[in-house]
């Protein structure tokens, strides 16, 4: 795809986001995080060149190598993958803009200890397993408000900003909608300003359910 065709493609995505956010309110702002996990640095630069600034990766090594390669560009990097305890230090070396996938108290405690040692703070989202799917990471909705409160109290170096969730893995719109509404309900009960939900297949619905951050891979990086 040449640059003009690519820009038109991305504009279509942005128009869809605009329609969905305006259905909530003109004041409802949605941030786009471009998920570059299946894309190389040339593709990231191409998207940067048409205005995108925030990118997300789900493996610490990839986050490191891509952010190093593109160090000269003013990009924001988000970590959206499962974090193994033995990778915490590597993630903190990179110091991402937002760690979106804190998925347990145990991980929070390990992270807090490392942050404290380094005297640093990390903006973080609590990942919610909104459809209670065994294949997914995150805290179940029933426990999420309490876990969020506990991490806020016990982990002063983790700056909790809100919640992240992956919509239910289903072709049934109602099922996906219910999972977004469950996350939204948690979001309304906690102190935070980010509700990260919606991927390429379901971001319109996610925004209609209150998402203010979408994580888009294939929609922004067409093959
Ligand atoms: C891969 C991934 C995305 C983007 O997926 P697409 O369907 O390509 O948009 C979003 N969020 C998380 C956590 C991911 O792992």
| Beta-bridge partners for 102 | 126
| pLDDT at residue 106, rounded to an integer | 97
Atom of ligand 1 nearest to the CA of 100: 13
How do residues 125-157 score in pLDDT, each as one tens digit?
A: 999 999 888 888 999 999 999 999 999 999 999
* Cα of 71 from ligand 1 centre, angstroms: 23
Give the residue numbers spanning the domain of 192: 3-216
| pLDDT at residue 179, rounded to an integer | 97
| pLDDT at residue 131, rounded to an integer | 87
Domain membership of residue 60 (yes or no) is yes
Ligand 1 pocket check: which of 78, 199, 221, 222 to mutate, most ligand atoms within 8 Å of Cβ?
Answer: 199
Domain membership of residue 223 (yes or no) is no
| pLDDT at residue 203, rounded to an integer | 98
Q: What are the tokens at 131?
A: 């459809």
Number of independent structural domains in the chain: 1
Domain membership of residue 67 (yes or no) is yes
Residue with CA at minimum distance from ligand 1 atom 6: 217
| pLDDT at residue 1, rounded to an integer | 85
DSSP β-ladder status, 213-216 and 31-35 = parallel
Q: Give the C-alpha separation, 42 to 143, whole Å.
A: 42
Domain membership of residue 19 (yes or no) is yes
| pLDDT at residue 216, rounded to an integer | 98
* Cα of 37 from ligand 1 centre, angstroms: 8
Domain membership of residue 33 (yes or no) is yes
Q: What percent of the chain has pLDDT over 90?
A: 96
Higher-confidence position of 104 and 134: 104
Q: Would you say the CB of residue 217 lies under 6 angstroms from ligand 1?
A: yes
Q: What are the tokens at 117?
A: 């040692």
Q: Would you say the CB of residue 200 lies under 6 angstroms from ligand 1?
A: yes
How do residues 50-72 score in pLDDT, each as one tens digit?
A: 999 999 999 999 999 999 999 99
| 189 has pLDDT over 90 | yes
How do residues 109-125 score in pLDDT, each as one tens digit?
A: 999 999 999 999 999 99
Question: Which residues lie below 8 Å from residue 169, measured CB to CB, with a gap of 6+?
Answer: 131, 133, 135, 136
Domain membership of residue 221 (yes or no) is no
Q: Which of 142, 143, 108, 106 is nearest to 125 (CA)?
A: 108
Q: Would you say the CB of residue 78 lies under 6 angstroms from ligand 1?
A: no
* Cα–Cα–Cα angle for 56, 177, 211, rounded to 5 degrees: 40
Q: What are the tokens at 102?
A: 């804190």
| pLDDT at residue 199, rounded to an integer | 98
CB-CB contact of 99 with 123 (8 Å)? yes
**Segments in the chain forming alpha helices (H):** 3-24, 41-49, 60-69, 88-94, 105-118, 141-154, 173-189, 203-208
* Cα of 201 from ligand 1 centre, angstroms: 9
Domain membership of residue 222 (yes or no) is no
| pLDDT at residue 192, rounded to an integer | 97
What's the chain's average pLDDT? 97
Domain membership of residue 174 (yes or no) is yes
Q: Give the C-alpha separation, 188 to 210, whole Å.
A: 10
Q: Would you say the CB of residue 59 lies under 6 angstroms from ligand 1?
A: no
Q: Give the C-alpha separation, 62 to 103, whole Å.
A: 20
How do residues 161-181 score in pLDDT, each as one tens digit?
A: 999 999 999 999 999 999 999
Q: What is the DSSP letter of 136?
A: S
- The CATH number given to whatever domain includes residue 183 is 3.20.20.10
């Amino acid at each position: 795809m040449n640059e003009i065709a690519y820009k038109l493609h991305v504009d279509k995505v942005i128009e869809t986001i605009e329609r969905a956010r305006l259905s909530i309110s003109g004041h409802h702002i949605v941030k786009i995080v471009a998920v570059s996990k299946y894309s190389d640095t040339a593709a990231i630069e191409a998207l940067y060149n048409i205005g995108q600034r925030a990118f997300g990766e789900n493996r610490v090594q990839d986050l490191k190598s891509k952010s190093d390669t593109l160090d000269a560009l003013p990009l924001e990097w988000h970590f959206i993958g499962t974090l193994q305890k033995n990778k915490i230090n590597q993630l903190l070396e990179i110091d991402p803009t937002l760690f979106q996938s804190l998925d347990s108290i145990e991980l929070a405690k390990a992270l807090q200890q490392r942050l404290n040692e380094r005297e640093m703070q990390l903006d973080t989202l609590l990942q919610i397993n909104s459809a209670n799917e065994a294949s997914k990471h995150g805290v179940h909705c029933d426990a999420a408000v309490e876990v969020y409160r506990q991490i806020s109290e016990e982990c002063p170096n983790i700056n909790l900003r809100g919640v992240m969730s992956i919509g239910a893995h289903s072709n049934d719109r109602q099922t996906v909608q219910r999972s977004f509404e469950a996350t939204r309900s948690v979001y309304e009960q906690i102190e935070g300003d980010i509700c990260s939900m919606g991927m390429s297949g379901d971001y319109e619905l996610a925004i209609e359910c209150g998402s203010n951050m979408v994580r888009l891979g294939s929609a922004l990086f067409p093959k």
